[in-house]
A and B are shown apart, each in its own frame.
Chain A
Amino acid sequence: MSTAFAADRRDVTRSARSSRLTGWSGRSLIGLVLAGATLFFVIPLLWLLIAVTKTEHELAVRSPFALGSWDTFKANVQQLFEFQSGAVVGWVGNSALYAFAALVITLVISIPAGYALALTEFRFRRLLMVTTLVVMLMPNTALVLPVFLEMNQVGLVGHALAVILPFSFYPFGVYLTYIYFSTSIPRSLLAAARLDGCSEVQVFTRIALPLATPVVALVAFFSFVQNWNNYFLPFVMLPSSDSYPMQVGLSTLLSATPAFNPSSAGSGSVHLPALALATIVSMLPVLILFLFSQRFLVAGMTAGGLKE
């Protein structure tokens, strides 16, 4: 309620100000900046959605935003899915396998860990907290080659686990859970459950966990998006095309596109529209998630941040 009130008041004061201060020129400047930025962010995606309805020849000769035809779209779909006898289906399957397996392990590890950090005592808690923050703020690519060298030493390179296990180490998820448990769950509630005879494990599974559904969803969202989009780690860990996720598969498709790589012309090659379609396939799950979860995304980015 109070925010709605504040917003109303802001609107009132803003309109009062604009009549006084922001004249015609100010508003058109704002409009110009806004229009330019919108075009910059929207045009590439819009073009991509249209490109898949055209043939390679039409892409070159027709206007960039002229629609192609449904039949051409179907032909492009067919070409993409016939590439290396259905390799794309396998790649999408691999992406799903890696992202979901890592998601499950991440949740199993991170949620109890965040709970323990927030509500229990143990040795080296402070050290673990600092380590979590530091690793969380590091770009995840920084550890890719070191993890590869380690995996190489233990002989896991090329195995699905070489991707799934590093994916499952997710300090940011632990941090989000920690914040949630330390701010949103009253300790007295847990104490009451203990008085009623709940064991410590039951306190967690019956009281804390059901209350933590929002943060579980948040961690799941970020973990999935990050792992689905990860390129560097699987690129380094997996030598064979059969085990590629879709992101790495894209680079194989790229090498088979004569428009970019003239030496690849031949029967097994891919045309530009099919490559554009592959790009859409590679981003579709995350794009759908994004459309419905702006609030999630912002909550996560700011949770890594600071207090005002």
Chain B
Amino acid sequence: MIELTTVRSAGSETPSRPAAGGGREEQARMSNSRGTRQTARSRSIGPLFITPYVVFTLAFGVIPGLYAVYLAITDAQGGFAPTANFARVIDDFRFFSAARHVAAFVVIWLVALVVLVVLLAIVVHAIRVRWLSSTARLFFYIPGALAGASSVMLWLFVLDPVASPVGPLLRALGFDSFPSVIQPSHLPLIFAIIAFWTGAGGWIVVMYGALNNISTEIMEAARIDGASPVQIALHIQLPLLRKWIAYMAVLSLAAGTQLFVEPSLLSQASNGVVPNDYSLNQLAYQYAFDLNDFNGSAAISVLLLVVALLLSAVFVAKGGLFETEDA
């Protein structure tokens, strides 16, 4: 029910309007033949309204995907070579190191998201002072305004001990210079922190909304039975949040494999301390722009695309998660 109520709440005026057409509604129902004609007519407008979107779906969704597949299974001259490009990029020593980097980042990020977002949502939900709870949520989600390059830029400052607001902390940990902070072994953690800082707040607010939706009867019953807040969190709130946690994890996993902006900017800022082929998407970019090897680039893109497509398709196909047909 959540999405329906929230979307509806954005249009609070709508429910009062329909009453005006009430009488005519009756007429419409009575005259059956007219009804059939209406269906016929509404069928005729559908294709007109949907065509531009179909064109865009084909042009910027389906065709690029198919074209990338075509490039990935042909050679530079257009000859059929179903495995050559994949073999070449996978044999590239940079491919596995990039895949490892991305995997390390995704693991840290997902664990942090699942554990901390749920914890913070439950904590914020437990605050009884209303303004305090809403202020906390606002603070958490504001960083979401800085997606992409802006948030990475901000974190470059934070990670540079010279200017950083947490400079003393960094120095206490033994980091005196920017390069010492951004050693390659630190990067997965750093990227996870940046991504968490940017994206966690939105999810905390979502989980908070889901917690609000748990019926008070259940919570009360648990309390009467003597459950402590921790037991309630573990045995009632957590299981009821499970679907939302899965939703967050799947979307974040798919997004995480696409890592690009963070290492790309950090590579520029560090004068090459962070390599420009740190992540898979960067490597695909290098293939296209530095090596002029569009087939190789397409092969990496297709691999990433398949991962994204699979995750998304599995999630859509798993029944009950989306109310796709008329409710």
Contacts and interface: CB of A to CB of B under 8 A. Distances in A.
Contacts of A47: 157-158, 165
A24 B96 CA distance: 51
Given A148-B288, A298-B209, A165 B142 contact: no
Grouping DSSP codes into helix (H, G, I), strand (E, B) and loop, the B interface class, with mixed when no group exceeds half, is helix
Interface string B263-274: 011001111000
Interface string B244-287: 10010011001101101100110011110000000001001100
Nearest to A210: B17
Given A44-B158, A211-B14, A200 B41 contact: yes
Nearest to B203: A301
A128 B213 CA distance: 32
Contact of A192 (B21, B39, B41): B21
A142 B269 contact: no
A199 to B, nearest CB: 8
Contacts of A21: 223, 228-229
Nearest to A178: B324
Given A302-B206, A308-B213, A169 B57 contact: yes
Interface in A69-83: none
Interface string B148-168: 111001111110101111110
B165 A299 contact: no
Interface in B130-183: 136-150, 153-158, 160, 162-167, 178
Interface size class on chain A is 35 or more
Interface string B1-18: 111101111110010011
A283 interface: yes
A129 B325 CA distance: 9
Contact of A38 (B49, B136, B156, B254): B136
A248 B149 contact: yes
B205 interface: yes
Contacts of B326: 118, 182
Given A9-B216, A37-B120, A166-B60, A139 B10 contact: no
A188 B324 contact: no
Grouping DSSP codes into helix (H, G, I), strand (E, B) and loop, the A interface class, with mixed when no group exceeds half, is helix
Contacts of A275: 153
Interface string A214-237: 110110000001000111100110
A141 to B, nearest CB: 4
Interface in A246-301: 247-248, 250-251, 254-255, 259-263, 272, 275-276, 278-279, 282-283, 286-287, 289-291, 294-299, 301
Contact of B305 (A30, A143, A212, A215): A143
Contacts of B257: 139
Contact of B49 (A43, A113, A215): A113
A179 B62 CA distance: 23
A120 B67 contact: no
Contacts, number: 423
A50 to B, nearest CB: 9
A272 B163 contact: yes
Contact of A194 (B41, B264, B323): B41
B235 interface: no
A19 B65 CA distance: 59
A134 B150 CA distance: 28
B71 A149 contact: yes
B53 interface: yes
Contacts of A142: 254, 258, 301, 304-305, 308-309
A278 to B, nearest CB: 8
Contact of A109 (B53, B116, B268): B53
Contacts of B7: 176, 179-180, 183-184, 214-215, 218, 299, 303
A229 B147 contact: yes
A26 B101 CA distance: 39
B46 A64 contact: no
22 contacts: A22-B126, A22-B229, A41-B139, A41-B197, A42-B139, A112-B50, A116-B46, A137-B251, A143-B64, A146-B68, A183-B7, A200-B41, A231-B149, A250-B265, A260-B156, A299-B10, A301-B206, A302-B2, A303-B3, A306-B3, A306-B244, A307-B323
Give 9 closest A-B pairs by Cβ, nearest first: A120-B46, A214-B11, A113-B53, A122-B46, A192-B21, A146-B64, A47-B165, A192-B24, A116-B49
Interface of A: 6, 9-11, 13-15, 17-18, 21-22, 26, 30, 33-34, 37-38, 40-48, 51, 59-60, 64-65, 108-110, 112-113, 115-123, 125, 128-135, 137-139, 141-150, 152-153, 165-166, 168-169, 171, 174, 176, 179-180, 182-186, 188-189, 191-196, 200-201, 204, 211-215, 217-218, 225, 229-232, 235-236, 247-248, 250-251, 254-255, 259-263, 272, 275-276, 278-279, 282-283, 286-287, 289-291, 294-299, 301-308
Given A189-B18, A200-B44, 16 more contacts: A14-B128, A33-B123, A40-B197, A110-B53, A134-B313, A141-B281, A146-B305, A200-B45, A211-B14, A225-B147, A260-B268, A283-B150, A297-B141, A297-B205, A304-B3, A307-B323
